Amino acid sequence: MSEHPTTSWKSLQDGKGFYRRQQLYSLQGKLPDLGDYVISGCRYGGPLAIMRDNSKLVAIGRAAPAFGKSQIQVYSSAGEGLLLFSWDQSRIIRFGWTLNERLVVLNEEGVYRVYDLQGDYQQYSLGSEASEMGVIDARIYENGLVALTGSLALLEVKGWEGARPMTLANPNLADPPISWSIIPPDSNISRHVEVLLSVENTIYTVDNLESTDQRLSQGPFTHVSPSPNGKLLALLNAAGTLLVISSDFQRRMAEFDTLNVPSAHGNVKQVEWCGNDATLVIWESLAVIVGPFAETLEYYYVGNVFAVTEPDGVRIFGADVCDLIQRVPDSTLSIFRPGSTSPAAILYDAWESFSQRSPKADESIRSIRPELATAVDGCVDAAGQEWEPYWQRRLLNAAKFGQGFLDFYNPTDFITMGQTLKVLNAVRFYEVGIPLTYSQYSYTSPTHLISRLTSRNEHLLALRISTFLSIKPDAVLKHWASAKILKSRPVASGTGKDAELDGDDEVCRLIVDKFKQLGGVDVSYAEIAKRAWEVGRTGLATKLLDHEKRASDQVPLLLSMKEDRLALQKAVDSGDTDLAYQVLLHLHKHLALGSFFRLIEDGGERLAPASRLLQVYAREQDRDMLRDFYYSDDRRVESAVLALDEASRMVDPSGRITTVKSAQKFFSEDKDRSFEAKMMDESARLLALQQQLEAESDGKISFFGQSVNETIRRCIVNGMLKKADKIKSDFKVSDKRFWYTKLHALTEIRDFEGLDAFSRSKRSPIGYEVFVHYLVEKGYKKEAVAYVARCDAPKRADLYAECDEWRMAGKECKDRGDKAKLEQLRKKCPNSLVARELELLVASMK
Amino acid sequence: MSTEDIQDSEPPLDTNIFKEISKKALVDALNSVNGSKTLVLDPSLAGPLGLVTEVALLKHHGVDKMFWLEAGPLSSNTTNIVYLCRPMIKYVRIISGHIKRHAKESSKHNYTLLLVPRLSSLVSRLLEEEGVLGDITISAYNLQFLPIADDVLSLEYESAFKDIWVDGDESVVYDSAQALITLQKLFGLFPRLLGKGDHAARLINLLTTYLPQTSNPDTLFEPSTIFDSLIVIDRRVDMITPLLTQLTYEGLIDEVIGVRNSHVELPASLVNPPAPQAGVAAAPPPAPTSSTSLRKENRKKYHLTSTDPLFTELRDLNFSNIGKRLNGVAHKLEEDYKRNHSDLHSKTTAQLREVVGRIGGLQSEHQSLRIHTGISELLDPITRTEQFNKSLEIQQNLLASYNVSEQVSSIEEMIAQGADLEMVIRLLCLASITTGGIKAKALENIKRDFLQTYGYNFLPLLLSLAAPSLAILLPNPLPPSTPPEVTAFKYPFVPLRKSLRLLIDDNLEALDEVENDISFVYSGYAPISVRLVQCVAQKGGVLSNPAEKEKTSEQNKGSFGGKVQAHPIVGWKGFEDILATIPGKTVDIMQNAIGAAAPLGAIAQHKVKTTTSVVFFLGGCTYTEIAALRWVARQNRGRNIIIATTGIINGTNIVDGLAGIQKTITGTKDAGI
């Protein structure tokens, strides 16, 4: 049985506030002497990062060996070493932790790296100004940092994705501040970072807009420390007075003279906060809590002490222990405070009586009947605040006991608490070493905890917790796969090339199987493959990528892996032409033209869509490239068509002829294209002829670029009949076509004599009906009549009718004795005059 | 569609939802740019946008002025300039030209580029190369299916056919897949996917494999209870149909005048009533005799909409019946007027009010009758021209494989007469497909005549028609060097004519009475594409004539039970052999929701409920095919058909697209939708 919770309690002098000191871990000899190191602790039970403090002398022979180079070590709260790496860049200015437990290390040149707990890092820079002026100090908070440059300007970086640094308002300092601190954006009213600079006797507050002198007179302040919620400031001045004021500098809360602490020796090491309502002053071997009304509580330690402020307390690292000091939570206080008569206390008491089979239990329960629900809630809550599973269980049992007397009680809180405590106890285990309190857990969320576990490579635990809490295992699986790839590396590169391939297959299969087994549907293989590629395992990356179904994710990675053909293949297969273009344009930019073409041509049928897309693009945008492409692939026909297309856009006649000739040449190089070659030859000849015709007509008539028919027509229209005949014979224009053309042309210029002469030049190959129809259509009915006589006899009557020559039509019928036709005409005729005449004719035919 | 039809079938899904979605997306996109803005519009988008919104709505959302996206300077007095265009390279060049010019003139603007239908890395890359990427905000305006009639959804891509089969740019296939996924997101998964043709197979492949992963799996749920299947027909599978002259009313309007985005350009005098007192009998001035003068007159756009009941009645009729139908309507209208007139003498004000209310309806009916009479008068002379009839004759003869060599020489004759280029090409391709290639020697002569008549610059057109991807104008026998895919694509027209019953004896009486087969749309020829749909959705219709059977059964049973219950979708069953002979892949896939097996009950359920089959034409469809599918849908109880397409096509605009002939878009620099 663990000792009663109250044994670790201490009350402030006035007896109202209780603080408890919970030993979290025993660190016997696990950490080096903290006094020799620069230390940064991560909140929410996170690890400590320590680096040898070069300003301190080290006695030879002490535990830690001396290093020439800077070296940073990371320990968990339980003193387990998590990471050790050396720093090969220029002097480290400061290091600190991000929200998701990554260590940010900033050097004097303004370069900072963000390390994860596996030692992988991303490197970013604060920009050229910082690197020129140098960085003299910085403050790192969970979501960003503020750096003080050599020119005493302040630079802010938000987030850890390498955002561009922004300059804050210039405080116009003459000297570096004596000390300084920041209030992070999310605990500030303005939601922007606020910098507190201790200058001379006062404090300057600086944000991105302005720098304000707060006109304090008690400075200079050697320590400036904002409370976790950013509402209060603890200031320690050179005279040893600790001031607690509101962060808007309006109210002074407490004042305490640190010189009055009798057992303190030497200088104040740290001013921190214990939760949001008490400050903590650290000396060597001593931590003093200063309450809201300047009451104190003293805690003694062996050796040097380092404190990490938590939102609900403070973690203190001594030489041999790691403690959590916090104000006793209200629910715990109401149960365990000596003489407490709160319902929860009575319920707990009742349960104890019950378990001892004492009838007192019933009486107690009765007495708190109206407040039983509150009492149960109180017990559940208090269970969450306890560190020892023994007491957690007892309190939960009490709650369960109380529940039994309630008719309606929603057990969700109870169940959640049970689950949560199970998780918390698991991660508090010293091998894991995350001393997370219940309220910290509630604040940071379970997924945050899982990501912390995965970053420690505690995949199994993380997976079990996520299953236990029904959270999707995707994040864990992804991290596991990445880690697996990293870890499997030495095995794979065992003996020769084959061994490596086997290794790749093995790892790939392992990963895929695991994903399938756990149903991690949403895990993107592309991301894992990217990781594999980053560590140089291209083969594995390719294999993993094969399992990626989203082409849009696959392709960019394949491109950066220089798997050009595969990238193009996948893009084409996806059917997404935009993706294919993306790849094509990328390759066009990065490959030599020759190898770019070869890549596409060698792809054969499978890459044909890509090849066609390239042609579509190039036809609009890059014709030279297209010409090269066709040329390199011996595509004569396409080359010719391209040349023709160009010719059609040309204005300069001789250029156009040359281009058509080049098309002709391309066609002639392909034995199956002799027809096309012949046509292009004709085309070039025609163009030359047209040029000549234009010259002969002094440029008055435009011929150039017209078709053969049109050229003939224009010749006829302009009276160049000889030329027209010549074109006919030169281009072997068929008689029929020539006659139609000439008929149309002569009608157009109303040269009916010419038409007549033409019609008599020889027997018409198209007949004479066409003449009649065409002339009638164009409205020259009178002129048409002449041709009717030359048409076939049976049709004449109708043709005459068409020309509105009813009388002649009638006569025609009469001549042929076609009475039926005559009747028909009579029915159609336009007026009675004609009708009568026709009737007469009909009559005469009897 | 008679009223009886409407009653016994549940209404198909509401296609207007797509209009609303597109409208909202447009408004959101416009509102994302604060303040008044100048809208610069891709002319090819004006039509589709006109189906979505009207100018007033744009003005309401801060559009100050609108311009076409064209080369040349752009002056704008608003700070915000919004470009709305398809991701085409030429537009990028124009836009960057504008930006650079403005920079030179140091006029400051905020540029926003809305790409339709999605972002394009090509565009960003080009803008980057031009050095203006930093000045412009790029986002997407996802314009997908637009309802162009109650049962027709179109993506309104004009160049889909050329993109796929000439350029090999498959963006359209991908975009279509995206649009179909949107459809599935709204109404559930298609339980069965059927397709014919290589690109149809590709589209279905995209639908089933790649795309579901890209969207959140939660949104793709169970098989739809509304849909029973998706039938994808690849235009390449049936090239014959678009080559023929459409003979339905709407189809003929498209052939002769041209319909763009459901709008037809008519002489202004026809659209605006010439004089209010003109009665029904007073016909508009005699229609111009030749098509040339038809093009010259001042023109005005007229929306052919399914909200016009007269048009809904007329659009799918064979043109030969239009005159009669119009006549009937005119008579009815006249009677109604007369009745109202006599009613006007009635005593009570209540009666009077009823009459006056009726007159309003009559007037709109009157207006629409006037327009349609006008349109048919425009069409009529053209259907009487020698060329038109000659081309019809050649078409019919080729379809019947009657005296092929004579048809070829007729085509030659038409070239000599200088007939329309498009018509000549259509006939030539038709001859090549139906006969398995034109005799090599004859073809060469025709090609030569063609080039000499229309210009040598059309040689690339001939080449692309013969290219393996299209292969619709080929010599016979094929030269030995022909790539194997061309020989594989040889179209088995003659066997199909028999097995799919493509030619129906053109019996005039049948045409006049009930149109009893889909072949009415081409006066005796049934479109292959629609026959293929029938293979899935109305198997009986392929084999024999359900209408005729119905007639006999009606006589036996009296007036009861006119229509047959639609059979469930069982894929291509029964027609596998025929499908195998047609070139191109055949697809038939059951699609279940992720992890859920199709319960047996669901199949039984389909029998009772009215379901909807979606027919998607990849590469466009003709109005005749729409008419034929509507006919198919009317024959059965319990199955509606929704037609989705990449766009409306006809032979002429296919040829124009291939030849790169740009039909001028009327419009000034100031764009008006």
Give B377-415 as a DSSP string.
Answer: HHHHHHHHSHHHHHHHHHHHHHHTT-SHHHHHHHHHHHH
> Best mutation site among A472, A581, A626, A673 for testing chain B: the one with the most B CBs within 10 Å?
A581
| Distance between CA atoms of residues A728 and A711, nearest Å | 10
Other residues' Cβ atoms within 10 Å of the Cβ of residue B43: 13
* Residue A575 CB-half CA count within 13 A: 24
Give me the pLDDT at residue B548, please.
Answer: 52
Q: Say which residues have a Cβ less than 8 Å from residue B666's Cβ, sequence separation at least 6.
A: B265, B299
Cβ-defined contact of B447 to A675 (cutoff 8 Å): yes
Mean pLDDT (whole number) for A667-695: 90
Percent of chain A at pLDDT > 70 equals: 95
| Distance between CA atoms of residues A158 and A140, nearest Å | 10
Q: pLDDT tens across A737-756, in order? A: 999 999 999 999 988 888 88
Q: Is the pLDDT of residue A8 over 50?
A: yes
Cis bond before residue B477 (omega within 30° of 0): yes
Give me the pLDDT at residue B553, please.
Answer: 44
Structure tokens at B389: 């009839």
Average pLDDT, chain A: 85
- Which residues on chain A are in Cβ contact (under 8 Å) with B126? 621
Among A255, A285, A291, A249, smallest CA distance to A273 is for A291
Structure tokens at A313: 């307390």
Give me the pLDDT at residue B117, please.
Answer: 85
Q: Is the pLDDT of residue B545 over 90?
A: no
Q: pLDDT tens across A148-205, in order? A: 988 888 888 888 887 778 888 888 888 888 899 999 888 877 778 889 998 888 888 9
Q: pLDDT tens across B324-369, in order? A: 888 888 888 888 878 777 766 766 777 777 777 777 777 888 888 8
Q: pLDDT tens across A366-401, in order? A: 888 888 888 999 999 999 998 888 999 999 999 999
Cβ-defined contact of B177 to A585 (cutoff 8 Å): no
Cβ-defined contact of A675 to B444 (cutoff 8 Å): yes
* 3-state DSSP assignment of residue A94: strand
Give me the pLDDT at residue B282, please.
Answer: 37
Classify domain B144-239+506-662 at the CATH topology level: Rossmann fold (3.40.50)
pLDDT band, very low/low/confident/very high, at B214 (cuts 50, 70, 90): very low
Cβ-defined contact of A585 to B460 (cutoff 8 Å): no
| Distance between CA atoms of residues A325 and A9, nearest Å | 10
> Best mutation site among A524, A649, A661, A675 for testing chain B: the one with the most B CBs within 10 Å?
A675
Give me the pLDDT at residue A553, please.
Answer: 78
* Range from A481-485, A742-746, B513-517 that averages highest in pLDDT: A742-746
Mean pLDDT (whole number) for A500-511: 72
DSSP state of B78: S
Q: Say which residues have a Cβ less than 8 Å from residue B42's Cβ, sequence separation at least 6.
A: B69, B84, B85, B86, B88, B91, B116
Q: Is the distance from CB of B154 to CB of B40 less than 8 angstroms?
A: no
Q: pLDDT tens across B139-174, in order? A: 888 888 888 888 899 998 888 899 898 888 888 999
| Distance between CA atoms of residues A320 and B310, nearest Å | 96
DSSP per position, A166-223: EEPPP---SS--SEEEEE-GGGSTTSS-EEEEEETTEEEEE-SS-EEE----S--EEE
pLDDT band, very low/low/confident/very high, at A68 (cuts 50, 70, 90): low
The strands making up B263-267's β-sheet, listed across from edge to edge, are B259-260, B263-267, B299-303
Which of B89, B452, B454 is the closest to A731 by Cβ?
Answer: B452
A137: left (phi over 0), alpha (psi -120 to 50) or beta: beta
pLDDT band, very low/low/confident/very high, at A492 (cuts 50, 70, 90): very low
Nearest Cα residue in chain A from B443: A675
Mean pLDDT (whole number) for B251-272: 84
Q: Which of residues 578-617 of A touch B (CB under 8 A)?
A: 578-579, 581-582, 585, 608-609, 611-613, 615-617
Q: Say which residues have a Cβ less than 8 Å from residue B529's Cβ, sequence separation at least 6.
A: B233, B237, B238, B241, B617, B621, B625
Q: Which residue has the tokens 């756990």?
A: A518
Q: Is the dihedral of CA A58, A62, A66, A70 positive or negative?
A: negative
Measured distance between the N- and C-terminal CA atoms of chain A, rounded to whole angstroms: 143
pLDDT band, very low/low/confident/very high, at B505 (cuts 50, 70, 90): low
Q: pLDDT tens across B448-502, in order? A: 999 999 999 899 999 999 888 888 888 888 877 777 777 777 888 888 888 888 8
> Best mutation site among A589, A612, A706 for testing chain B: the one with the most B CBs within 10 Å?
A612
Chain center to CA of B319: 18
pLDDT band, very low/low/confident/very high, at B290 (cuts 50, 70, 90): very low
Distance (Å) from the alpha carbon of B368 to chain A's nearest alpha carbon: 32
Give me the pLDDT at residue A522, please.
Answer: 65
Q: Is the distance from CB of A665 to CB of A692 less than 8 angstroms?
A: no
Other residues' Cβ atoms within 10 Å of the Cβ of residue B505: 7
Among A570, A542, A558, smallest CA distance to B210 is for A570
CATH superfamily placement of domain B387-488: Sec1/Munc18 (SM) protein, domain 3b (1.25.40.850)
Distance (Å) from the alpha carbon of A601 to chain B's nearest alpha carbon: 15
Nearest Cα residue in chain A from B207: A575
Q: Which residue has the tokens 């030849």?
A: B659
Lowest mean pLDDT among A142-151, A306-315, A386-395, A793-802: A793-802
Distance (Å) from the alpha carbon of A376 to chain B's nearest alpha carbon: 40
Lowest mean pLDDT among A137-146, A525-534, A661-670, B495-504: A525-534
Distance (Å) from the alpha carbon of B548 to chain A's nearest alpha carbon: 38
Give me the pLDDT at residue B518, please.
Answer: 83
* Range from A180-189, B265-274, B516-525 that averages highest in pLDDT: A180-189
Give CA separation, A124 vs A501, A531, B130, B356, B360, in Å: 35, 19, 31, 81, 75
Query: Is some CB atom of chain B closer than 8 A to the CB atom of A486?
Result: no
Mean pLDDT (whole number) for B49-64: 85
Higher pLDDT, A543 or A449: A449
| Distance between CA atoms of residues B495 and B493, nearest Å | 6
| Distance between CA atoms of residues B358 and B458, nearest Å | 57
Q: Which residue has the tokens 């006056």?
A: B356
Give me the pLDDT at residue B281, please.
Answer: 38
| Distance between CA atoms of residues A743 and B385, nearest Å | 19
Nearest Cα residue in chain B from A742: B417
| Distance between CA atoms of residues A197 and A363, nearest Å | 61
Cβ-defined contact of B418 to A741 (cutoff 8 Å): yes
Give me the pLDDT at residue B446, please.
Answer: 92
| Distance between CA atoms of residues A49 and B436, nearest Å | 83
Give me the pLDDT at residue A489, please.
Answer: 59
pLDDT band, very low/low/confident/very high, at A591 (cuts 50, 70, 90): confident
Cβ-defined contact of B448 to A617 (cutoff 8 Å): no
Q: Which residue has the tokens 């659009």?
A: B315
* 3-state DSSP assignment of residue A138: strand
Domain ranges for chain B: 16-143, 144-239+506-662, 249-262+288-384, 387-488
Distance (Å) from the alpha carbon of A706 to chain B's nearest alpha carbon: 7
| Distance between CA atoms of residues A826 and A842, nearest Å | 9
How open is the CA angle B488-B493-B496, to the nearest 5 degrees? 110
Q: Give the helix ranges, DSSP H, for A267-411.
A: 330-336, 343-355, 360-367, 372-385, 389-403
pLDDT band, very low/low/confident/very high, at B220 (cuts 50, 70, 90): low
Q: Is the distance from CB of B262 to CB of B304 less than 8 angstroms?
A: yes
Cβ-defined contact of A578 to B122 (cutoff 8 Å): yes
Q: pLDDT tens across A411-429, in order? A: 888 999 999 999 999 988 8
Q: pLDDT tens across B106-117, in order? A: 888 888 899 988
Q: Which CATH architecture has domain B249-262+288-384?
A: Alpha-Beta Complex (3.90)
Phi, psi of B356 (to 5 degrees): -60, -40
Give me the pLDDT at residue A370, please.
Answer: 85
Cβ-defined contact of B460 to A637 (cutoff 8 Å): no
Mean pLDDT (whole number) for B258-285: 63
Q: Is the distance from CB of A318 to CB of A307 less than 8 angstroms?
A: no
> Best mutation site among B90, B92, B122 for testing chain A: the one with the most A CBs within 10 Å?
B122
pLDDT band, very low/low/confident/very high, at A578 (cuts 50, 70, 90): confident
- B16-143 has which CATH code? 3.40.50.2060
Lowest mean pLDDT among A282-286, A682-686, B74-78, B229-233: B74-78
Nearest Cα residue in chain A from B163: A616
Q: Which residue has the tokens 């005493």?
A: A152
Q: Is the pLDDT of residue A495 over 70?
A: no
Q: Is the distance from CB of A160 to CB of A114 less than 8 angstroms?
A: yes
- Which residues on chain B are in Cβ contact (under 8 Å) with A613? 168-169
Higher pLDDT, B615 or A844: B615
Cβ-defined contact of A680 to B174 (cutoff 8 Å): no
Distance (Å) from the alpha carbon of B382 to chain A's nearest alpha carbon: 13
Give me the pLDDT at residue A500, please.
Answer: 53
Other residues' Cβ atoms within 10 Å of the Cβ of residue A823: 13
Average pLDDT, chain B: 80
| Distance between CA atoms of residues B183 and B171, nearest Å | 18
Give me the pLDDT at residue B307, please.
Answer: 81
